[in-house]
Amino acid sequence: MITGDVWFWFLAGLATLLVGSSKGGLPLVGMLAVPIVALQISPVVAAGLLLPIYIVSDVYGLWLYRKSYDLRNIKIIVPAAAIGIVIGWATVSITSDDLVKLLVGIIGLVYCADVVMKARRTIAPRPADLPRGIFWGSIAGFTSFVSHSGAPPYQMYVLPQRLEKMVYAGTSTIVFAIINLLKLPPYWFLGQINVGSLRVAAILAPIAITGAFLGYRLTKVLPEKIFFRIVEVALFLVSLKLVYDGIIGLWGAP
């Protein structure tokens, strides 16, 4: 880890701000954090460095959304995500990060295409249900474990429910706060988190808290329709980048 490099600290600070913003109510922007830090260090090291920052931001996010959440979704998604995390831990030696990026990106693009096709029709909100929740929750847990990219599978399940925006943001924050805590022991045992990375995370923590506050304020002031449109556009852009990164990683640059 190049902790004496100015470029490293700039990228790490930007990534930390995005992580904090994601905990303030904009979960998709946090997915950009690992790719940003990975411009300077290994993606695996970047994921380990950022997990404690996610957890610090989660504490503030939990306080911000302590009254805004959907308990049924949390009860369904969290156990399913735990299954996905166990699978990710068990298969870490044979799992390709690039393949996961490609699959996660495709999931996000499929959802965005579905949104566009349904835009001209009035479709009733789809309530939370156990089969879909277990399926998408386990995928979210797996992809979150591998590369902190659990948001697209999570969106596939939650966005069709059309939750009120603050409830949606609070549910997302609480779900991923629990997922991040569940990832902590395996990350430690795999060596992705160590004393050195914890020192760096401690230095960056104030930036994460600032980002969480900014994300929360932005979530509150944005009209609901614009808020979800931004989430969907962000999902499309992030998914597009994940597909590109996955293809380049698996088959090499053209």
- Provide the whole-model pTM: 0.81
Rounded to the nearest 10°, the torsion over CA 22, 8, 251, 139 is: -30
**Residues of the chain with pLDDT > 90: what percent?**
27
Q: What is the DSSP letter of 128?
A: P
C-alpha distances out from residue 146 to 76, 140, 143, Å: 21, 10, 5
**Residues of the chain with pLDDT > 70: what percent?**
94
- The answer, yes or no, to whether residue 239 has pLDDT greater than 70, is yes
**How many helices and strands in the chain, by DSSP H and E?**
10, 0
pLDDT at 221: 84
pLDDT digits (tens, 9 = 90+) for 75-91: 999 999 999 999 989 98
Residues 63-91: b if buried by 16+ CB within 10 A, e if exposed: ebbeebbbeebbebbbebbbebbbbbbee
CA 69 remoteness from chain centre: 17
Amino acid letter, 38: A
